[in-house]
């Protein structure tokens, strides 16, 4: 099977929303052998079909089962989904030369890792992890401006969102060998990006010299990205026709970029709400 069939040329960058996925995407996309694009939500289209099949197969009703399993064998159903997926992947993978990678950054894919591995067993994953208090502060700020259509409006809901995503990744990563999964802490990335990028390049088996890494870090500083500079993220399809072929982040999307800003940005009551909801999990993943 070729790379396009196994996902060997695909890297999924996942994490809770407002954990720094876009920051890391821009840094990695500065590598000449990495292509990327706007969030595709690809497995929000494909994943539910696979989940529905599995649920109906594992828990048939008293009549012996309902659904497409009454008409298709599993092998045929999976093959049809695979054909659909191939067509959806085509514009992302078109033109990739041997040794090049496509970096697919959709935070929500953290919830579909088992389905991704079913379809793309050789795909690799980078998980970015951030303190849930900073995530909650960023979500609350987004809910009051550009992200009001999706961002949780309370600290408790923001913490539950963080728990959902982080727990899903923890549950899924044991299914993968070390060469398919790695994790980055946002706090370490903002403090010293260069060694993190060096390690990620090794994980992706891509050469990347120190000067090129330093240039990527300089080009994608918080100040640069706030002013619409840094690595260009292309956008195609219907939305390119409507709003242009380059991703333009809304005002307020890039905040301070610092770690630990929750001490300033979260009221003490909201800090308590995050700890109440996420305290056990945040300690388990290393946040005191």
* pLDDT value for 2: 61
What CA–CA distance (Å, rounded) separates 63 from 170?
Answer: 36
Which residues, in sequence order, are CB contacts of 71 under 8 Å at separation 6+?
none
How confident is the model at residue 86, as a pLDDT? 96
Residue 106: its pLDDT value, please? Answer: 97
Rounded Cα distance between 183 and 230, Å, is 23
DSSP state of 109: G
pLDDT of 227 reads: 82
Residues of the chain predicted below pLDDT 50: 1
- Tell me the CB-side half-sphere exposure of residue 170, using CA atoms within 13 A: 12
Q: Give Cα 23 distance to the centre of its chain.
A: 11
What pLDDT was estimated at residue 238?
Answer: 95
In DSSP notation, 117-141 reads HHH-TT-EEEEEE--HHHHHHHHHH
Contacts of 251-257 with C-beta under 8 Å, sequence gap 24+, read 251/145, 251/146, 252/141, 252/142, 252/145, 252/146, 253/22, 253/142, 253/146, 254/222, 254/225, 254/226, 255/138, 255/141, 256/222, 257/23, 257/190, 257/222
The per-residue pLDDT for 257 is 81
Domain 3-284 architecture: 3-Layer(aba) Sandwich (3.40)
What is the signed CA dihedral for 130, 106, 137, 272, rounded to 10 degrees? -60
pLDDT of residue 1: 47
Predicted local confidence at residue 228, as pLDDT: 80
């Amino acid at each position: 099977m070729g790379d396009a069939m196994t996902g060997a040329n695909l890297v999924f960058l996942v994490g809770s929303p407002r954990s720094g996925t876009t920051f890391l995407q821009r840094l990695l996309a500065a590598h000449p052998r990495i292509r990327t694009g706007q969030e595709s939500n690809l497995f929000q289209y494909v994943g539910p079909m696979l989940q529905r099949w599995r649920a109906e197969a594992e828990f048939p009703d008293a009549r012996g089962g309902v659904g497409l399993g009454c008409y298709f064998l599993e092998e045929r159903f999976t093959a049809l989904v695979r054909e659909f997926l191939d067509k959806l992947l085509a514009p992302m993978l078109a033109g990739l030369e041997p040794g090049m990678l496509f970096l697919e950054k959709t935070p929500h894919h953290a919830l579909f890792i088992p389905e991704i591995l079913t379809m793309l067993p050789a795909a690799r994953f980078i998980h970015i992890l951030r303190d849930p208090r900073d995530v909650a502060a960023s979500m609350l700020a987004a809910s009051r401006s550009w992200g009001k259509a999706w961002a949780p409006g309370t600290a408790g809901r923001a913490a539950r969102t963080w728990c959902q995503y982080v727990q899903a990744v923890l549950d899924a990563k044991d299914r993968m060998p070390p060469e398919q999964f790695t994790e980055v802490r946002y706090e370490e990335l903002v403090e010293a990006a260069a060694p993190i990028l060096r390690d990620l390049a090794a994980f992706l088996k891509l050469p990347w010299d120190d000067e090129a890494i330093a240039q990527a870090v300089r080009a994608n500083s918080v100040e640069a990205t706030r002013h619409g500079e840094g690595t260009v993220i292309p956008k195609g399809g219907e939305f390119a026709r409507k709003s242009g072929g380059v991703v333009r982040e809304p005002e307020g999307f890039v905040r301070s970029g610092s770690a630990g800003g929750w001490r300033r940005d979260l009221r003490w009551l909201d800090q308590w709400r995050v700890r109440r909801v996420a305290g056990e999990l945040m300690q388990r993943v290393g946040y005191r």
